[in-house]
Structure 1
């Protein structure tokens, strides 16, 4: 029987968790759905990633209000993907911060990504009627930016390309906690359709060098304790490498995309088939790995039409 396209068959509600990962630092997680981070400072709150719709963002706000009544003044978006950014309008009075590159990707492919993800994730876009349009930052930066929430410092950094070309992380030095967006996942498949396989490992090394005490990853449970942090970083590395290594092997001998699909499945299925959104991600991951292995540095833009064609060519 043919698989339902992407996550169209996943309409079951997910269990929400709100986990403290450090002093006044929280991770909003939901069984492999996109996570949101919460950083509470002396005088205000920073949100890291805004969910797909204002309706979902308001579920985060409810959790925030269970622990603080301080105003939410900043929303940091770790990258440009629709499921991370389109809920930002729920924070109307907040500063919206992205990297320069992430904003450029909204310009280049933001509408296409919205249309694409809307088809892939119908459950995440319930209440989509309230989205006013593409999310645009009110402030951007290139390599590094520091925001003070009273005396609490938050360092926003672009450490390298990985999940996208514009990924950033948020590090809170006083607690030694990091919010990584989708650069790090935990028991959830990495989406690599906009990824940079050759750079991803170096970016993970840069995160590892901080030797943090906890990470709020892009998907999956909050990671508290150095052992769990290290496990998640290396598990993410293994996922990325296990996808790209067979793609490079097949591309080097002039093999086809379908041969690459078979080779990636042979390497990845035994280790990762049980992970959240694994089957969803696989065709997009294989297509991007095959492209990069053939020297295509900039990921091709995914559209709703290209999504379906790739799915039917590989997953059907």
Structure 2
């Protein structure tokens, strides 16, 4: 396996996309998410941590500098390690709040994902040295409106899509939407289909989630990975997932076996999107969709 690039967060690249709303971009580096820092008059919210405590400590120091004494909150878009497995660095400095399904994902799947990610290579394992499974301070049911002072941020679970506990973060006054890994740009959608250990991803459900997000008409969409943009960030992912679904189900209904379907669909979609990274995610997407078709999707 090719060694991954060090998944280091670089806070020096932060840019303001709306008043008192910054994004620390992932700069195209694997296992580095886009991280948000959203300010109001009384408090500042950080969205996602980066992988490991060293990254998260840098994010915390940056957010503290931005906050200038304002109260700090932290939330994460979902439980995967590059998004949430730095939360312990915020303990005692910020209130960490997440939706209930995400909290359950952390409790039931966190240890398995920590072990799996440590197996991705030495550089990732080093980033995860000393990491503990995050424990939220506040777990909410339904949606949650967080008053930052003159700005209310809406934390909203979407239901199953990329994970069981996906949560989007909406900043209505700025028209900004943080999607986590429900959307990416410049790469194939990340479909974490890992049977028998984790089969909660649903491409059918993900498409329904995207329909709802598109209908909200965000001005700026900050994806989990890749460049922020307008509503096309969402519609492009929706178009790809429809494409993946249709090509997979056409072959599944024609009686091809799973290996043949995966090979054909991978070649087809890689040819249609030659500039995209992450071709390794096409196969898991096919596997997920075959299972969903068998279940009556």
Deviation at 1:14, TM superposition (A): 7.1
- 2:121 and 2:62 mapped to 1: Cα distance? 23
Report the equivalent of 2:197: none
Deviation at 1:71, TM superposition (A): 4.4
Give the 3-state SS of the residue equivalent to 1:275 in structure 2.
coil
Deviation at 1:58, TM superposition (A): 2.4
8 Å CA contact 2:8–2:55 kept in 1: the answer is no
- 1:177 and 1:121 mapped to 2: Cα distance? 35
Q: 1:28 to 1:250 in 2, by over 3 A?
A: same
The alignment covers a number of residue pairs equal to 284
Task: Please tell me whether residue 20 in structure 1 is matched to residue 20 in structure 2.
Answer: no
Report the equivalent of 1:152: 151
Report the equivalent of 1:107: 107
With 65-74 and 34-43 compared, the bigger mean Cα shift is at 65-74
Q: 1:64 to 1:188 in 2, by over 3 A?
A: farther
Report the equivalent of 2:264: 263
Return structure 1 stretches of 4+ with deviation > 6 angstroms.
none
Deviation at 1:239, TM superposition (A): 2.4
Give me the CA root mean square deviation.
2.4
Give the 3-state SS of the residue equivalent to 1:42 in structure 2.
coil
Deviation at 1:296, TM superposition (A): 8.5
With 49-58 and 263-272 compared, the bigger mean Cα shift is at 263-272
Give the 3-state SS of the residue equivalent to 2:134 in structure 1.
coil
For structure 2, the 5+ residue unaligned runs are 194-200
Report the equivalent of 2:251: 250
TM-score normalised over the length of structure 1: 0.81
- 2:124 and 2:296 mapped to 1: Cα distance? 31
TM-score normalised over the length of structure 2: 0.86
8 Å CA contact 1:51–1:87 kept in 2: the answer is yes
The structure showing larger relative contact order (alpha-carbon pairs under 8 Å, at least 6 residues apart) is: 1
